[in-house]
């Protein structure tokens, strides 16, 4: 256990957590919505500090990040827990463990050991992923500071519910983030994730001004968020509020967790989403979970030449030189290209 960051005390031993936009008001002896932050006698504690549930070496493309040090490896870690209740969660066995089975599991691994292992495994970065990194911010923060000293980059894969206060804490050490924009309908967020859309839209524009590389992912679910109108509005929001050069990944859904009554996303739906993204002015739009699709590749927004050829998570061909198209010299947005 470790005392939590970002909370205030109220009368009667009550605490208010300011870490995510749930902003839980927690009575003594109770936990927040994430179920991994507990009020003990007026002090809020993280129950997952140094309790690692998953660690793997992944291609950075798995996050997915396509414009951040492509072709490199990322040491990827998680604890249990999440501040969302997504019925379609594809990491539910660890993210929802405290909620579904009232269990907090994980092995004790020191921040120093994680950083050392990332260096030993020739990783360029550490990714805080699989579950929501916001809920283990104390652990992530200590790792991130040590990682920076070793020349490693720090990457989050997040649902975007971190508060501006939380962002201020991690921003000095956070190099890149992929945020899931699950829908553009507040009712869908409430019904399927037990969260709200509006705080995410308010916070998303804060990342790039802090020099954090940003990419967006939308898991396209048949019958839920796959209408042309909704996909078009997501694309227009990204282009207008975040930047036309922010990559958008539209990923294929497969039935999981409590959403087994929806089939996998048809490939043509993803291809139409890619087209809608380009129509909205986005320069880089990618299909995800569809190996072999032409929309896995990076194309120059000026001359149209293929610059990065991918198959799944593997980079096959690379034609970018000093962040520019090797054919026409057009600048290509990203970090470490």
283 close to 301: Cβ distance less than 8 angstroms: yes
Residue 163: phi and psi, rounded to 5, are -75, 165
Cα distance between residue 127 and residue 118, in whole Å: 10
Cα distance between residue 19 and residue 163, in whole Å: 6
| Angle ∠(19,22,28) on CA atoms, nearest 5 | 80
Please identify which residue in the block is written with the tokens 């524009």: 205
Residues 6 or more apart whose Cβ sits within 8 Å of residue 308: 66, 70, 297, 298, 315, 317, 318, 319, 320
Both tokens of residue 301? 């927004």
Of 65, 21, 289, 69, residue with least CA distance to 178: 65
Neighbours of 69 (CB within 10 A): 20
Q: Which helix (H) or strand (E) holds 138?
A: helix 137-149
**pLDDT value, residue 1:** 86
Q: How much is the average pLDDT of 287-293? A: 95
- Tell me the average pLDDT of the chain: 97
Q: What does the pLDDT look like over 301-326, one tens digit per residue?
A: 999 999 999 999 999 999 999 999 99
Cα distance between residue 296 and residue 138, in whole Å: 35
Global pTM value: 0.97
Q: Which helix (H) or strand (E) holds 250?
A: strand 248-252
Both tokens of residue 53? 């549930």
Structural domains in the chain, sorted by start? 2-46 (no CATH), 54-325 (3.20.20.70)
Q: How much is the average pLDDT of 183-208? A: 97
Q: What does the pLDDT look like over 45-63, one tens digit per residue?
A: 999 999 999 999 999 999 9
């Amino acid at each position: 256990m470790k005392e939590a960051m970002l909370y205030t005390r109220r009368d009667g031993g009550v605490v208010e957590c300011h870490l995510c936009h749930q902003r839980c008001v927690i009575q003594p002896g109770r936990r927040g919505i994430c179920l991994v932050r507990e009020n003990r006698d007026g002090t809020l504690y993280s129950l997952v500090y140094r309790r690692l549930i998953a660690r793997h070496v992944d291609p950075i493309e798995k996050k997915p990040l396509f414009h951040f040090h492509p072709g490199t490896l990322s040491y990827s870690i998680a604890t249990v827990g999440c501040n969302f209740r997504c019925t379609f969660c594809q990491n539910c066995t660890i993210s929802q463990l405290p909620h579904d089975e009232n269990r907090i599991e994980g092995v004790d691994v020191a921040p120093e050991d994680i950083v050392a292992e990332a260096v030993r495994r020739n990783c360029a970065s550490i990714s805080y992923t699989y579950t929501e990194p916001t809920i283990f911010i104390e652990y992530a923060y200590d790792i991130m500071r040590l990682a920076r000293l070793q020349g490693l980059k720090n990457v989050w894969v997040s649902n975007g519910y971190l508060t501006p206060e939380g962002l201020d804490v991690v921003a000095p050490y956070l190099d890149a983030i992929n945020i899931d924009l699950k829908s553009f309908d507040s009712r869908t967020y409430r019904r399927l994730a037990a969260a709200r859309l509006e705080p995410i839209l308010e916070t998303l524009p804060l990342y790039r001004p802090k020099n954090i590389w940003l990419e967006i992912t939308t898991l396209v679910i048949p019958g839920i968020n796959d209408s042309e109108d909704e996909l078009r509005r997501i694309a227009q929001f990204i282009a207008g509020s975040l930047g036309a050069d922010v990559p958008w990944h539209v990923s294929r859904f497969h039935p999981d967790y409590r959403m087994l009554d929806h089939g996998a996303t048809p490939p043509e739906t993803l291809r139409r989403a890619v087209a809608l993204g380009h129509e909205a002015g986005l320069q880089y739009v990618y299909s995800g979970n569809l190996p072999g699709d032409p929309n896995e590749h990076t194309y120059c927004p000026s001359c149209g030449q293929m610059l990065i050829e991918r198959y799944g998570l593997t980079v096959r061909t690379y034609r970018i030189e000093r962040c520019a198209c090797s054919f026409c010299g057009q600048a290509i947005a990203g970090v470490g290209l």
